[in-house]
Amino acid sequence: MHAIHTIVEFSALAQISIPEGFKSIMTLLRAFAALLAVAALIYAGVTFATGRVEASLWGIIAAGILGLSVALVKVIFDGTGDTLGF
C-alpha cells in the first residue's frame, strides 16, 4: 500500500515539474535564438563592410527568421496565458 501511495505522490510531483522544466527550456531556446539573431546581424554588417553584399543578405535573412521565431513563440505563449519570463 505504501508503494502505491509513493507512486501517486511521484506522479503529482512529475506533473508539477514538467511545465516548469518546459518553461525553462523554452526560455533558454528563445534567448539562444535572440543571440543568434544578433550574431547574424553582426555577420551581415561585417560582410557588407568587406564588399560581399550577397553574403550580407544571407545574414539579414537569418536575423529576420530568428527574430520572428522569438516573437512567434512569445505570441503563442501569450495566447495561452502562460509566461516564459523573457
Per-residue model confidence as pLDDT tens digits over 13-40: 555 566 666 777 777 888 888 888 899 9
- Tell me the per-residue pLDDT of 63-85, one tens digit each, with 9 for 90 and over: 989 888 888 877 777 666 655 55
Dist. CA 1–CA 34, nearest whole Å: 50
The total number of structural domains in the chain stands at: 1
Q: Are 37 and 66 in contact (CB under 8 A)?
A: yes
pTM across the whole model:
0.63
Structural domain of residue 78, as residue ranges?
24-86
Higher-pLDDT residue of 43 and 7 is 43
Query: 86 pLDDT band (50/70/90 cuts)?
Result: very low
